[in-house]
């Protein structure tokens, strides 16, 4: 074309491409020739194959399984050349197609008469592409000094084939001198009297080996796969190599028996080359198929049912089945030559693959971060392996990969079977379709024609989409220029879920309307519904496009300013969070169209009713019926328009990109990548309430994460051992309060939606959509639906194992529990304010308790009840000779200690007697009076043992020391603490406390979480004790300390400040142990008394 007066730009580029192609091809082939047919350092000729064999050593080598390939550099250069030449054939095909397209345009679309003249001349001289490309070989390097054969672009199978230097070795090898190499034929080989090495054994008879190889150069699929694979698009082409292997000259030689004219295939190879190539083909094809199946088996966290996927998976499953048969044949034939045991084969295969197969194909076939070693170890022994003597036989890596693929295929067939799903897509999502470029692999004319049709269709679709965007531009500009808010769709605010139930239909009580939905753009739809005059479904379709595009534009304006997402959109990607917003919005417009919206909004009802009326009218005119099939007709109408409405949203999204060329390119990308995704279809088919509940959860978790981060930051430097008024604690305290308020507000909304969820999940239509939903709690369902956006809500609460609530409503969060409790925590009885651990905000300080005690004492109020007496006394005769143990016969006889019978309950008794006036006692009131009694208990135990009680302590005739007294006090306190536990938990066997029945009723009322009695009553009482037991022990410590006139040195005892474990002991065993100790004390005292009296007699 250079002899034309003017050469069009693309032809100049084509000419330049050819020149560059020939130059680089020549350079690469020189490297191939040097490595495969050059000279050795000692001056002898090389003769290597593209498989890496040294052809001179074929007959003389020792057939070691892993050392047959002595020419790795030749193999490397051949592989590199093959990849490069395939890529160049793809480039050539594209330019060829461009040429044919331009020739068709000669009659039009040229700006000047001169251009048209040039193209007419071009068409006259080079009407066919073959005429034109004939001239390309005239370029430099294309016809001079070629390393391989002459270049002819009209013979692409020759020009773009592998180099002849990369062919397999002659099966009997070659004999080389310094000057030349001569192929060894069968006769020559036989005359050489070759001695087959001892390692080669088990020579079998002839065998046929068929090998299926994906090959884009062929136009068919063999009959083994044709029925299940033909219409799936999994394979572009598959060739079937039919090999016949037999021993010739003591070498296992395989010949291609079928008529295969592919110039890339050797017709005669050795069994070890077939073994090597089979593995190379397998890993290459396996990695490609694994990628192709990703769209069906890895389509996000939601298992989308896609009708076409099942057939794809069946096809790949059949391929895997055929490859397993091939592998058994090839592997057996190969290893039968050698003395290799079954247990060694797996290791040999793994090593052979590691050495000879392309690293990228291996990597792409394995899981992420997996190695062949890990793969082989992933399965156990395939034999019984029952004894230490028996060797473990492992599966080889090929078998493991095929088994893994078959498992994936089985799961895929179930996932994409319409029998198991109510919602299934017709085809793959555009964004997950296989994006392999057939031309890049050097497809033939058939593929080019198909691509041409596909690309023309895509161009038409892009043009239609860009025309729609021009209309959308008018819609948005019209909306933006409206002055009255009554006549426009307005910008989006931050929005919140307050008042989200005010416009919910009463049949859907419990649902909450998203703030996004409350401000949904419906201006044009309202206009059509409210104004009289004849309206059409086409007008409503256009109104939906208009509203949806404006809505998306306004949502994007709000989103991009707070998320900095413009760069991502300009890169052709919709941010995932915003795409999710678009899905929710699309679903709401669909529900309006189909009259499935669950709001009570009268404007929405008018729109839906108007569409139904038009549909009935249309049906009546067409069939004479009066809308008997209204729902299916509405669905059909929606299906007709849904893609246009979605694409209108894509137009609205890109409206304000300023650079028009950039905007056009981005829109084309979006039109291809988000061209009505399959998961949009499945998402929009879900009931509106369930979508809104999921949207609520996503919004809650976004805000929850922000609040949690504030809480974590505010409390990160808190030291719980410091004074409660520490400034850091105050910041943390505020953050804890704010977090609790935040969670409590949202928890109410969650509870109402959870109640509706629990009702709806048992409906048949819901169970058909969400398999197994009737057995799921709301938080589990949300965790599955949110695709990782509801992690805050997807787990069960960590505080109450019997509850069906979510961890996302735990206040404070368990990770911040200690710090939030400590900042609210008042000063404890101990020097270290962190202990006793677990104190609540209901805890009373020692000063508060002391003040209460002082006031009671001044009023001459006693301390503990004695029997049913109404007078009260200090503690006495807890141990020693005067201690009286009371026998109770509730079941087996048990003796109750005087300490238990004197347990301080004065304040609890008083509040119980006040309750006869039908005053409801709150949890807060009860726990405070119990702390007052615990304080008195601790104080009086200290006073008793420091006075009369110490006289009864036995110490082997030695003087009783202060440490001995304190040990008795501590033990007594721990036992009284346990008595309080049994009383609160409802597990005590002693029911003769004063006003016991009344006290027990109060505890039941205070701890009960529902209005009905249930088997959980005991559980609730136990939980109540767990909640407040640290407050009770702290009160006892306060009393103990005050008994010593406030000597804080007593409170430096960390062991004493930690919560006792006595509340976990069985009550009878605790009393029995105490009885035993008192028995020993009493026995010694009585012996001493007896001795004294006898001595004085």
- Cβ atoms within 10 Å of 64's Cβ, excluding its own: 10
How much is the pLDDT for 439? 42
Structure-derived torsion over alpha carbons of residues 975, 980, 981, 984, reported in degrees to the nearest 10? 160
Instruction: Quote the mean pLDDT of the chain.
Output: 84
CATH code assigned to 195-418: 1.20.58.1930
Least confident of 35-39, 561-565, 826-830: 561-565
| Residue 244 phi, psi dihedral angles, 5° rounding | -120, 120
Residue 964 pairs in a beta bridge with none
- Cβ atoms within 10 Å of 695's Cβ, excluding its own: 25
617-669 tens-digit pLDDT: 887 776 655 556 788 889 999 999 999 999 999 999 999 999 999 999 999 99
How much is the pLDDT for 201? 57
1014-1073 tens-digit pLDDT: 556 788 999 999 999 999 999 999 999 998 876 656 666 768 999 999 999 999 999 999
How much is the pLDDT for 430? 46
How many alpha carbons lie under 13 Å from residue 342 in its C-beta half-sphere?
10
How much is the pLDDT for 725? 65
User: Distance between CA atoms of 47 and 179, rounded to whole angstroms?
Assistant: 12
What are the boundaries of each domain within the chain? 9-166, 195-418, 472-685, 720-821, 836-1091
Q: SS3 of 256, please?
A: strand
Pairing assessment for the beta strands 207-214 and 251-256 based on DSSP bridges: unpaired
Give the pTM. Answer: 0.58
How sure is the predictor about 589, in pLDDT bands with cuts at 50, 70 and 90? very high
For the segment 417-427, the average pLDDT, to the nearest whole number, is 60
How much is the pLDDT for 681? 86
Angle value at C-alpha 712, between 711 and 715, nearest 5 degrees:
85
How much is the pLDDT for 745? 92
How much is the pLDDT for 708? 95
For the segment 77-103, the average pLDDT, to the nearest whole number, is 87
User: Distance between CA atoms of 133 and 1039, rounded to whole angstroms?
Assistant: 105
Between residues 26 and 981, the one the model is more confident about:
981
Cα–Cα nearest to 271, from 257, 251, 250, 256? 251
How much is the pLDDT for 435? 44
Least confident of 196-200, 305-309, 807-811, 816-820: 196-200
353-363 tens-digit pLDDT: 998 898 999 99
How sure is the predictor about 59, in pLDDT bands with cuts at 50, 70 and 90? low
**Has residue 436 got a pLDDT over 60?**
no
Least confident of 422-431, 732-741, 887-896: 422-431
105-149 tens-digit pLDDT: 655 555 555 556 666 666 666 555 566 777 776 767 777 656 666
Residue 865 pairs in a beta bridge with 872
User: Distance between CA atoms of 849 and 841, rounded to whole angstroms?
Assistant: 15
How much is the pLDDT for 434? 46
How much is the pLDDT for 224? 86
**Architecture of the structural domain at 836-1091:** Up-down Bundle (1.20)
Between residues 44 and 87, the one the model is more confident about:
87
User: Distance between CA atoms of 729 and 721, rounded to whole angstroms?
Assistant: 11
CATH H-level superfamily of 472-685: Duffy-antigen binding domain (1.20.1310.20)
Least confident of 161-165, 317-321, 386-390, 847-851: 386-390
Least confident of 7-11, 19-23, 1049-1053: 1049-1053
How much is the pLDDT for 220? 84
For the segment 392-397, the average pLDDT, to the nearest whole number, is 85
163-177 tens-digit pLDDT: 999 999 998 888 887
Give whole-number Cα distances, 811 to 211, 745, 823, in Å: 64, 12, 14
213-227 tens-digit pLDDT: 998 778 788 888 888
How much is the pLDDT for 1014? 54
**Has residue 398 got a pLDDT over 60?**
yes
Whether the domain at 195-418 and the domain at 836-1091 fall into the same CATH topology: no
User: Distance between CA atoms of 567 and 563, rounded to whole angstroms?
Assistant: 11
Query: What DSSP element (H or E) covers 183?
Result: strand 181-183
514-548 tens-digit pLDDT: 999 999 999 999 999 998 778 899 999 999 999 99
How much is the pLDDT for 920? 79
How much is the pLDDT for 787? 76
How sure is the predictor about 485, in pLDDT bands with cuts at 50, 70 and 90? confident
Backbone torsion region of residue 676, taken as left when φ is above 0, otherwise alpha when ψ lies between -120 and 50, otherwise beta: left
Angle value at C-alpha 734, between 729 and 736, nearest 5 degrees:
90
How much is the pLDDT for 263? 60
Task: Work out whether the CA dihedral 438, 444, 447, 450 comes out positive or negative.
Answer: positive
How much is the pLDDT for 861? 46
How much is the pLDDT for 657? 92
How sure is the predictor about 423, in pLDDT bands with cuts at 50, 70 and 90? low
Residue in the structure block whose two tokens are 């006549």 = 487
């Amino acid at each position: 074309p250079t002899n034309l007066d003017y050469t069009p730009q693309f032809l100049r580029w084509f000419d330049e491409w050819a020149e560059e192609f020939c130059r680089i091809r020549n350079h690469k082939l020189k490297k191939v020739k040097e490595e495969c047919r050059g000279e050795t350092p000692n001056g002898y000729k090389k003769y290597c194959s593209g498989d890496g064999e040294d052809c001179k050593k074929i007959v003389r080598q020792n057939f070691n399984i892993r050392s047959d390939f002595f020419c790795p550099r030749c193999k490397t250069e051949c592989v590199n050349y093959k990849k490069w030449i395939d890529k160049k054939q793809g480039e050539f095909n594209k330019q060829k197609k461009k040429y044919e397209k331009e020739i068709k345009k000669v009659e039009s679309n040229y700006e000047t008469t001169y251009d048209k003249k040039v193209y007419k001349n071009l068409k006259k001289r080079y009407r066919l592409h073959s005429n034109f490309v004939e001239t390309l070989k005239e370029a430099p390097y294309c016809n001079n000094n070629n390393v391989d054969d002459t270049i002819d672009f009209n013979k692409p199978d020759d020009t773009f084939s592998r180099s002849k230097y990369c062919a397999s070795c002659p099966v009997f090898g070659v004999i080389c001198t310094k000057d030349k190499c001569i192929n060894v034929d069968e006769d020559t080989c036989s005359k050489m009297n070759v001695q087959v090495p001892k390692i080669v054994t088990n020579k079998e008879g002839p065998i046929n080996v068929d090998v299926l190889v994906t090959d884009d150069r062929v136009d068919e699929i063999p009959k083994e796969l044709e029925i299940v694979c033909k219409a799936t698009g999994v394979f572009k082409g598959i060739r079937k190599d039919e090999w016949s292997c037999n021993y010739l000259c003591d070498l296992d030689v395989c010949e291609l028996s079928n008529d295969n004219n592919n110039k890339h295939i050797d017709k005669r190879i050795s069994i070890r080359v077939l073994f090597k190539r089979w593995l190379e083909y397998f890993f290459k094809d396996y990695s490609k198929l694994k990628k192709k199946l990703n769209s069906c088996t890895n389509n996000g966290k939601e298992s989308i049912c896609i009708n076409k996927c099942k057939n794809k998976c069946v096809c790949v499953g059949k391929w895997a089945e055929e490859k397993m048969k091939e592998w058994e044949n090839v592997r057996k034939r190969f290893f039968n030559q050698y003395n290799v045991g079954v247990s060694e084969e797996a290791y040999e295969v793994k090593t052979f693959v590691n050495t000879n197969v392309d690293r990228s194909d291996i990597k792409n076939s394995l899981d992420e971060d997996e190695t062949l070693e890990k793969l082989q170890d992933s399965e156990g022994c395939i034999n019984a392996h029952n004894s230490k003597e028996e060797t473990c036989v492992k599966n080889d890596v090929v078998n493991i990969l095929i088994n893994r693929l078959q498992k994936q295929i089985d799961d895929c067939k179930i996932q994409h079977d319409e029998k198991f799903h109510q919602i299934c897509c017709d085809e793959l999502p555009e964004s997950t379709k296989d994006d392999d470029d057939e031309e890049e692999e050097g497809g033939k004319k058939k593929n080019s024609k198909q691509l041409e049709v596909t690309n023309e269709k895509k161009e038409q679709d892009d043009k239609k989409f860009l025309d729609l965007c021009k209309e959308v531009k008018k819609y948005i500009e019209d909306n933006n220029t409206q002055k009255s808010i009554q006549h426009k769709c307005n910008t989006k605010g931050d929005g919140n879920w307050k008042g989200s139930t005010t416009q919910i239909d009463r049949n859907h009580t419990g649902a909450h309307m998203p703030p996004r939905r409350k401000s949904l753009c419906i201006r044009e739809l309202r206009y059509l519904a409210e104004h009289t005059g004849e309206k059409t479904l086409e007008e409503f379709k256009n109104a939906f496009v208009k509203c949806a595009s404006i809505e998306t534009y306004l949502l994007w304006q709000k989103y991009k300013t707070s998320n900095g997402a413009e760069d991502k959109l300009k890169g052709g990607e919709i941010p995932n969070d915003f795409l999710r917003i678009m899905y929710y919005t699309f679903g709401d417009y669909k529900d309006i169209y189909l009259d499935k919206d669950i709001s009570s909004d009268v404007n929405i009802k008018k729109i839906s009713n108007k569409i139904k009326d038009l549909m009935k009218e249309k049906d009546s005119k067409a069939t004479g019926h009066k809308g008997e099939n209204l729902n299916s007709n509405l669905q059909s109408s929606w299906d007709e328009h849904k893609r246009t409405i979605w694409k209108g949203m894509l137009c609205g999204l890109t409206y304000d990109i300023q650079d028009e060329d950039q905007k056009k390119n981005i829109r084309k990308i979006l039109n291809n990548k988000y061209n009505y995704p399959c998961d949009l279809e499945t998402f929009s088919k879900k009931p509106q309430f369930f979508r809104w509940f999921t949207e609520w959860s996503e919004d809650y978790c976004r805000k929850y994460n922000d609040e949690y981060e504030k809480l974590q930051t505010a409390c990160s430097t808190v030291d719980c051992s410091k004074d409660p008024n520490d400034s850091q604690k105050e910041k943390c305290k505020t953050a804890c309060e704010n977090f609790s308020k935040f969670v409590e507000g949202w928890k109410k909304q969650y509870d109402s939606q959870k109640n509706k969820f629990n009702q709806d999940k048992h409906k048949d239509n819901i169970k058909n959509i969400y398999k197994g939903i009737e057995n799921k709690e709301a938080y589990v369902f949300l965790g599955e639906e949110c695709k990782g956006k509801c992690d805050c809500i997807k787990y069960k609460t960590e505080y109450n194992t019997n509850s069906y609530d979510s961890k996302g409503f735990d206040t404070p969060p368990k990770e911040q529990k200690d710090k939030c409790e400590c900042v609210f925590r008042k000063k404890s009885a101990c020097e270290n304010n962190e202990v006793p651990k677990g104190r609540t905000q209901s805890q009373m300080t020692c000063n508060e308790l002391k003040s209460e005690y002082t006031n009671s004492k001044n009023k001459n109020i006693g301390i503990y009840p004695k029997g049913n007496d109404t007078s009260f006394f200090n503690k006495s005769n807890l141990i020693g000779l005067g201690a009286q143990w009371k026998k109770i016969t509730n079941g087996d006889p048990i003796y109750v200690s005087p300490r238990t019978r004197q347990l301080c309950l004065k304040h609890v008794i008083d509040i119980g007697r006040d309750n006869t006036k039908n005053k409801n006692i709150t949890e807060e009131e009860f726990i405070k009076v119990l702390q007052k009694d615990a304080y008195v208990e601790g104080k009086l135990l200290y006073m008793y043992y420091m006075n009369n009680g110490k006289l009864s302590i036995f110490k082997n005739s030695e003087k009783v020391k202060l440490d001995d007294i304190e040990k008795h006090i501590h033990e007594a306190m721990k036992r009284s603490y346990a008595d309080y536990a049994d009383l609160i938990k409802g597990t005590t066997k002693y029911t003769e406390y004063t006003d016991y029945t009344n006290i027990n009723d109060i505890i039941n009322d205070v701890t009960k979480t529902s209005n009905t009695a249930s088997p959980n009553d005991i559980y609730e009482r136990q939980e109540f004790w767990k909640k407040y037991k640290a407050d009770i022990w702290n009160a006892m410590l306060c009393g103990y300390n005050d008994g010593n006139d406030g000597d804080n040195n007593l409170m430096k005892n960390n062991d004493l400040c930690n919560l006792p474990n006595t509340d976990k002991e069985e009550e009878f065993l605790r009393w029995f142990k105490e009885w035993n100790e008192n028995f020993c004390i009493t026995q010694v005292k009585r012996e001493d008394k007896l001795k004294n009296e006898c001595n004085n007699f």
